[in-house]
Chain A
Amino acid sequence: MQELPRPTDAELDILTVLWSRGPATVRDVHETISARRPAQYTTILKLMQIMADKGLLLRDETQRAHIYSAARPREWTQSQLAGDLLQRAFGGSARSLLMGALSARKASRKELDEMRRMLDEYEKGAK
């Protein structure tokens, strides 16, 4: 697989939309992004064309409005961003400042099995 450059912040926003919504036109992407922050349609268009040239995006030109999709699955960013300063800070100090339904520590296989077993028992007991 071709070695791809790490996406910039603006590029990551576009990739995020495509991962969330699946393949989309520039207009769809622009609508989603501008729901959150002001963005020029032409800026998004230009950016997406560059990303397609870089190989970050795939372009389907069979329709009149070109359909773009992310060239890599979202898991790819996790490894790409592993060296990213934000991501590293996020792994440590930032995580302890955030609230979440799950703790930072992942459960082990054994724990997951135990949890599922408890749920099964509870369901059987309830029925």
Chain B
Amino acid sequence: MTHWMHTPSAQALGLTLFHFLWEGAAIAAVLALALATLKSSRARYAAACVALAAMPLVCGMTFERVLPRQTLPAGPLPRAIAPPPLGSDSPALHRGLQASDVLPYVVPIWLTGVLLLHARTLAGWAATRRLQRNGVCAPPARWQQRLGQLAAGVRLSKPVVLLESCRVDVPLVAGYLRPVILVPLDLLSGLPAGQVEAILLHELAHIRRRDYLINLLQAVVENLLFYHPAVWWVSGVIRAEREHCCDDLAVAVQGNAFEYASALTALETRRGVAEPALAATGGDLMKRIRRLLNRPEPRHTAFTPALAAGIVILTAAAALTAWQPKPQDQPPAAQQKQGDVLPKKLIAVGADPYRKWLNEDVAYIITDEERAAFKKLQTDEEHEHFIEQFWLRRDPTPGTAENEFKEEHYRRIAYTVAHFTPASGLPGWKTDRGRVYITYGPPDEIESHPNGNAAHAFPYEQWMYKLIAGVGTNVIVEFDDPNRNGEYHMTADASAQRASVWMDTVKRGPLNRKVRALGTVADDGTVRLQVPEPVMKEVAIGQNVSVDTGSGVVAGHVFRIAPEVQNGTVGVSVTLNAPLPAGAAAKGVDAAIDIENVPDTVYVGRPVNALANSDGTIFKIEPDGKHAVRVPVHFGRASVNQIEVVTGLVPGDRVILSDMSAYANYERIELK
């Protein structure tokens, strides 16, 4: 019962409904301002219709925005080989999860309301259908003829049926395709002919303006967004202005406002009088009569727009308050009062099991939004509740005692520690293989080459996944072990890139150019890197180096460059600014040498085959996002993962970085 509430769509829907609290208020506020300046009923009616139509539209757009993307091929690495990095601190796109306690209940309650209201509307619609057939009779033929003449007078070509009904007490219009005007039984004979015609003109005006259809759509919007008073207010404005428009049309055709006002008053008089308790002064008909006779509005009605605006502003304030971050709910004073339990909390914070949970247990599977929300939590209770909800959201079988997802997750962690932990003692879950295993589960096939082969000098493994949701099918992930120490590193592989197109946006800004090199730690504590010969001309003594030992990054600088080339690489020695962590000396390191800081340039993620200072081509995504066209590009200086664009592209262009050699004969391709 509960699991669908935790699906991304349900959560996005809940957020959308929350956001509409202020969005709806804002739309109503704009309408209130517009109404304060607009005088003509047609303009006011149009403005209110636009406002009401904007409400579901805005909801749709909000939903689109807050819905989590399953397959987002952004960033310079395809997802297949780039699970979330450890301790990523990317800011949350929205502040949704602060409302995570209430959200699961919002959608079911809202859905129930919508269903009930729609059922009610449907029943009402069925009743109007029956009303057109049951308890009615055709009026004397002369009235049907007269109606035809009046319809021609308002330039209405659609045939309209006039019926007397024993069920209605006022004239009504029903139906859109075959409109029917229903009048009470004694109306046609009981009122002067001129007044009857005036009333019929009003009803014909409704038909000509398609009010019946628009009113049905209006009911749908009301039912969907029923919880917001602004919706009902805007809808009420539409109803009132609609009557004014029809009054104007009837008077324009008949030419006598006084007779028309008399007809309305006579009609109301015939209907009988309401119970005094229910009646209030200043009802809609009063306003219309005043308007028709050009009487000034009493003071309090002129005040109505201001009142409406006030309500709207209050709603907006309430909505904003509801979105305040949770920690404000617990002022510091409240925590200080609990002085006797404070020491226990300090111990808990010192050990910080929650930081371990965040950065170790769920580091690869927690979303950026969840991470941001978790970091804002303060008390143990909040943390515990969050963790419980975190697993509950992922439970494939909610309602049972077992959470298969959680069990499988911890089994994977245990597996990686048992199988992928290298000699250095780096926990198996922190290795590349561990990261992929925990994120995507056991591969369908593993091809292991512990001694390498003719093509690979190092030991390597290929993992094949038949399907990774959101990434692709037949995804191959390759790992190699260049240092032969059991710590395999992931390498980019053509199959993985083909599975998901790898895209990037051309940017303008500073480019920190680096050269990447692998190396080992020497006995004296310095690091010896093997730098590929072609990039050596930019490496100089004194350049900064960041050395990743696998258990931490240490800064250093180049102090010696070997004069000779060996096996295509040059030995570069690096002194470190801080001692290496214990145990790191035995294994290989991965280092990046800062060779140049370009203060301002145009650059893009480096395509697989792009060489520095060369001409090439690149597929540029067209504005529709579905096609890409080949454009010539001159590349400038290159870094490890970025390359300068000298000509051919401008900042903001989206391009494909994947290996496109398979499409060498195509100038334009379609993306699917």
Contacts and interface: CB of A to CB of B under 8 A. Distances in A.
Interface of A: 9, 12-13, 15-17, 19-21, 32-33, 35-36, 74, 77, 81, 86-87, 89-90, 92-103, 105-112, 114-116, 118-119, 122-123, 126
Interface stretch (B86-94, B259-267, B339-347, B354-362): B259-267
A98 B173 contact: yes
Nearest to B285: A107
Contacts of B167: 77, 81, 86-87, 90
B273 A101 contact: no
Given A20-B139, A20-B185, A101-B202, A77 B166 contact: yes
A58 to B, nearest CB: 18
Contact of A109 (B135, B219, B261, B273): B273
Contacts of B286: 107, 111, 114-115
B138 A32 contact: yes
B120 interface: yes
Contacts of A101: 170-171, 199, 202-203, 243, 246, 264, 267
A12 B206 CA distance: 28
Contact of A103 (B123, B136, B138, B284): B284
B138 A119 contact: no
A13 B274 contact: no
Contact of A102 (B121, B267, B273): B267
Interface string B248-259: 000000000010
Contacts of B299: none
Nearest to A15: B166
Contact of A111 (B126, B219, B279, B293): B279
A99 B164 contact: no
A9 to B, nearest CB: 5
B628 to A, nearest CB: 50
A118 B265 CA distance: 11
Q: In the complex, which range does the number of interface residues on chain B fall in?
A: 35 or more
B658 interface: no
Given A74-B185, A92-B120, A109 B276 contact: yes
Contacts of B243: 101, 103
A111 B203 contact: no
A100 B172 contact: yes
B258 A74 contact: no
Contacts of B171: 100-102
B134 A86 contact: yes
B268 interface: yes
A111 B271 CA distance: 13
B212 interface: yes
A102 B170 contact: yes
Interface of B: 120-121, 123-128, 130-131, 134-140, 163-167, 170-174, 185-186, 199, 202-203, 206, 211-212, 215-216, 219, 242-243, 246, 258, 261-262, 264-265, 267-269, 271-274, 276, 278-281, 283-286, 289-290, 293, 295
Nearest to A77: B166
Given A97-B125, A119-B293, A108 B134 contact: no
Contacts of A111: 279, 281, 283, 285-286
A118 B124 contact: no
B285 A116 contact: no
A119 B256 CA distance: 13
B137 A33 contact: yes
A94 B173 CA distance: 12
Contacts of A123: 258
Given A116-B265, A122-B258, A107 B123 contact: no
Contacts of A86: 127, 130-131, 134, 167
Q: Which 8 A-B pairs have the closest CB atoms?
A: A93-B124, A108-B279, A106-B274, A94-B124, A89-B127, A94-B127, A99-B206, A99-B173
Contact of B137 (A9, A36, A112, A122): A36
B271 A35 contact: no
11 contacts: A15-B166, A74-B186, A86-B127, A89-B127, A99-B206, A100-B203, A101-B199, A101-B203, A103-B243, A111-B281, A114-B281
Contact of B219 (A35, A92, A97, A116): A97
A21 B188 CA distance: 11
A16 B261 contact: no
Given A20-B137, A101-B199, A112 B265 contact: yes
Contacts of A108: 273-274, 276, 278-281, 283
Nearest to B214: A99
Contacts of B219: 96-97
Given A107-B274, A119-B289, 19 more contacts: A9-B134, A13-B136, A16-B136, A32-B138, A33-B137, A81-B167, A86-B167, A89-B123, A90-B167, A93-B123, A94-B123, A95-B124, A96-B124, A98-B172, A99-B242, A101-B202, A102-B271, A110-B279, A122-B293
A105 B284 contact: yes
A53 B592 CA distance: 105
Contacts of B130: 86
A112 B273 contact: yes
Contacts of A106: 268, 271-274, 278-279
A93 to B, nearest CB: 3
B135 A12 contact: yes
Given A99-B172, A106-B273, A32 B137 contact: yes
Contacts of B278: 105-106, 108
- With a 10 A CB-CB cut-off, give which of A20, A36, A114 has the most chain B CB atoms: A20
A101 B137 CA distance: 21
- With a 10 A CB-CB cut-off, give which of A19, A33, A110, A115 has the most chain B CB atoms: A115
Nearest to A12: B135
Contacts of B139: 20
A119 B185 contact: no
A115 B185 contact: no
Contact of A99 (B124, B215, B258, B265): B215
Contacts of B258: 119, 122-123, 126
- With a 10 A CB-CB cut-off, give which of B127, B243, B261 has the most chain A CB atoms: B127
Contacts of B272: 106
A93 B121 contact: yes
Nearest to B119: A93
A115 B173 contact: no
A81 B216 CA distance: 26
B376 to A, nearest CB: 45
A115 B163 contact: no
Contacts of B137: 13, 16-17, 20, 32-33, 36
Contacts of B120: 92-93
